[in-house]
Amino acid sequence: MNAPEPTKVSHPESKAYSILRLKCPRCHKGNLFSVKNAYNLKRVLDMPDRCPVCNQDFRIEPGFYTGALWVSFPIIVLLAVPLWILVFWFADFSFDMMFLLFAALIIGLQPPIMRYSRAIWIGVFVKYDPGK
Ligand SMILES: [Zn+2]
């Protein structure tokens, strides 16, 4: 018997791998963001102009990442709706409490959501190319 296959997500060639690890969509090796910590708020969206490994352009065109806003909204919905249902089902919170809880949660998760949105957005336009 062979060792179990690694899951798809951890597979370095999968799109999910580059997105979840915030890697360059082309080589899956270079980091998309200059600073690892998403809660370093001054530098949360600092990206190098080009991939340090394969030289892929991370800027693509002026305003390129405006489109990432269209990705962050569904991410927030995907996180919030099941959570809302769970909390609604199992906790006896008033609507105001729920609203405050979710506002705090979504604001708190904003830095990583913004980063993942950018990683997904650039991943839509740049294809994986491991090079030679
Ligand atoms: Zn690269």
Q: Where are the alpha helices (DSSP H) in 38-127?
A: 69-90, 95-108, 110-125
In a domain, 4, yes or no: no
In a domain, 80, yes or no: yes
Cα of 112 to ligand 1 centre, how many Å?
A: 20
Which residues have a Cβ under 8 Å from the Cβ of 50 and sit 6 or more positions away?
A: 56, 57, 58
Please, which pLDDT band fits residue 88 given cuts at 50, 70 and 90? confident
Are 51 and 27 in contact by the 8 Å Cβ rule? The answer is yes
Residue 10 has pLDDT above 80, yes or no: no
> How many helices (H) does the chain have, and how many strands (E)?
4, 0
Pick the most confident of 2-16, 52-66, 71-85: 52-66
pLDDT of residue 1: 52
Range of the domain at 14: 9-125
Query: Which residues are found with C-beta within 5 Å of the ion, ligand 1?
Result: 24, 26-27, 30, 51, 53-54, 56
- Average pLDDT (53-58) is 97
Are 75 and 117 in contact by the 8 Å Cβ rule? The answer is yes
In a domain, 130, yes or no: no
Cα of 70 to ligand 1 centre, how many Å?
A: 24
Residue 112 has pLDDT above 70, yes or no: yes
In a domain, 41, yes or no: yes
Percent of the chain with pLDDT strictly greater than 70: 92
Cα of 76 to ligand 1 centre, how many Å?
A: 28
- Which amino acid appears at position 32 of this protein? L
Handedness of CA 35, 32, 14, 70 (dihedral sign): positive
Structurally, the chain folds into a number of domains equal to: 1
* Total-model pTM: 0.84
Cα of 32 to ligand 1 centre, how many Å?
A: 8
